[in-house]
């Protein structure tokens, strides 16, 4: 399909807040997601991991060391251990103006996926969720099974017929996406790619996947690859797109979604704020 007009057009590209509005607030916290919603993001991205007692929490790294005042692997800690940690102060003050009362503590404590789903349900407008499964092989399917059970509970595992799904599942692991599709065949899946590998070149994705998730590095170095994906009928969601020239490139190529740490700035560049 031909490249779209290079001028950013309204609503041609979905703006996805990567780990929330994570440039302004500590990643994967309620504060970051509330800010992204306030900023007008179309969708929220989050990484999910399983705690030792089987809860899905929104944490990127294997360990909590970088983003909290604690130490250790998420998979070795229980939810109550994580709840005692501060996931906000590593980034300085949060966007909350008030003194650290109970509400602002909640806004920077560990975020469960369940709480994030509640936030989205109560947002008062449509917001999509792009959920990434992290290290799914370690748990041999447990992350996907828990995720599917939770989505089912919220009525999000089967999109309404003919309407776009409010949730999609992303992964670097084709096996993980396969497991999701086995449990929820209508749920869209996104195959993430960090580097351009020979097996990617023909524009084909793992069986059943309709959305490609190339890194901005792939898009910069191989813009023709985006066209190949589009010609093969795939949608394209690019991460992590923070620089104005990258936003412009993605718009010029007609990608479907930009995953960014700076939703407010990107929306402004697109003329949407």
Binding site for ligand G3P (CB under 6 A): 18, 45, 47, 60, 132, 170, 192, 213, 239, 259
Q: Which is nearer to ligand G3P, 96 or 111 (CB)?
A: 111
In which residue are the tokens 């604690």 written?
A: 70
Residue 113 near residue 56, CB atoms below 8 Å = yes
Choosing from 18, 28, 55, 237, the catalytic residue is 18
27 scored as a contact of Ca ion (CB under 5 A): no
Helix (H, G, I), strand (E, B) or coil at 260: strand
Q: How far is the CB of 227 from Ca ion (least distance, A)?
A: 25
For residue 30, which of 146, 129, 125, 113 has the smallest C-alpha distance? 113
Q: How far is the CB of 47 from ligand G3P (least distance, A)?
A: 5
How far, in Å, are 44, 60, 115, 181 from residue 118 at the CA level? 13, 20, 5, 23
Note if 237 is an active site residue. no
Q: How far is the CB of 32 from ligand G3P (least distance, A)?
A: 13
Q: Which residues contact 137 (CB under 8 A, 6 or more apart)?
A: 173, 175, 176
Among 23, 24, 39, 132, contact with Ca ion (rule: CB under 5 A): 132
Choosing from 60, 200, 234, 237, the catalytic residue is 60
In which residue are the tokens 């929104």 written?
A: 58
CB atoms within 10 A of CB 119: 17
For residue 200, which of 189, 188, 187, 213 has the smallest C-alpha distance? 213
List binders of Ca ion among 30-89 (CB under 5 A).
47
Q: Which is nearer to ligand G3P, 59 or 267 (CB)?
A: 59
Q: How far is the CB of 214 from ligand G3P (least distance, A)?
A: 10
Residue 259 contact partner, candidates Ca ion, ligand G3P, none, CB within 5 to 8 A by sort of partner: ligand G3P
Strand partners, 193: 214
Binding mask 246-265 for Ca ion (x = CB under 5 A): --------------------
């Amino acid at each position: 399909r031909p490249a779209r007009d290079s001028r950013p057009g309204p609503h041609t590209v979905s703006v996805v807040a990567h780990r929330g509005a994570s440039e302004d607030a500590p990643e994967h916290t309620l504060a970051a997601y509330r800010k992204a919603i306030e900023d007008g993001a179309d969708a929220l991205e989050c990484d999910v991991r399983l705690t030792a007692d089987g809860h899905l929490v929104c944490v990127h790294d294997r360990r909590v060391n970088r983003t909290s005042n604690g130490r250790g692997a998420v998979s070795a800690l229980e939810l109550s251990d994580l709840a005692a940690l501060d996931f906000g102060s590593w980034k300085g003050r949060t966007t909350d103006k008030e003194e650290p009362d109970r509400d602002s503590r909640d806004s920077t404590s560990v975020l469960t996926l369940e709480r994030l789903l509640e936030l989205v349900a109560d947002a008062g407008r449509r917001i999509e969720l792009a959920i990434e499964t992290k290290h799914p092989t370690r748990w041999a399917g447990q992350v996907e099974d828990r995720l599917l059970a939770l989505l089912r509970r919220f009525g999000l595992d089967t999109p309404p017929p003919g309407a776009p799904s409010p949730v999609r599942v992303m992964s670097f692991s084709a096996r993980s996406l396969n497991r999701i599709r086995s449990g929820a065949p209508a749920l869209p899946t996104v195959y993430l790619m960090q580097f351009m590998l020979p097996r990617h070149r023909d524009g084909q994705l793992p069986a059943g996947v309709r959305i490609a998730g190339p890194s901005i590095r792939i898009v910069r170095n191989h813009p023709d690859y985006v066209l190949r994906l589009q010609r093969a009928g795939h949608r394209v969601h690019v991460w992590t797109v923070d620089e104005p020239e990258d936003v412009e490139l993605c718009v010029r190529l007609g990608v479907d979604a930009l995953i960014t740490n700076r939703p407010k700035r990107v929306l402004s560049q697109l003329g949407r704020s």
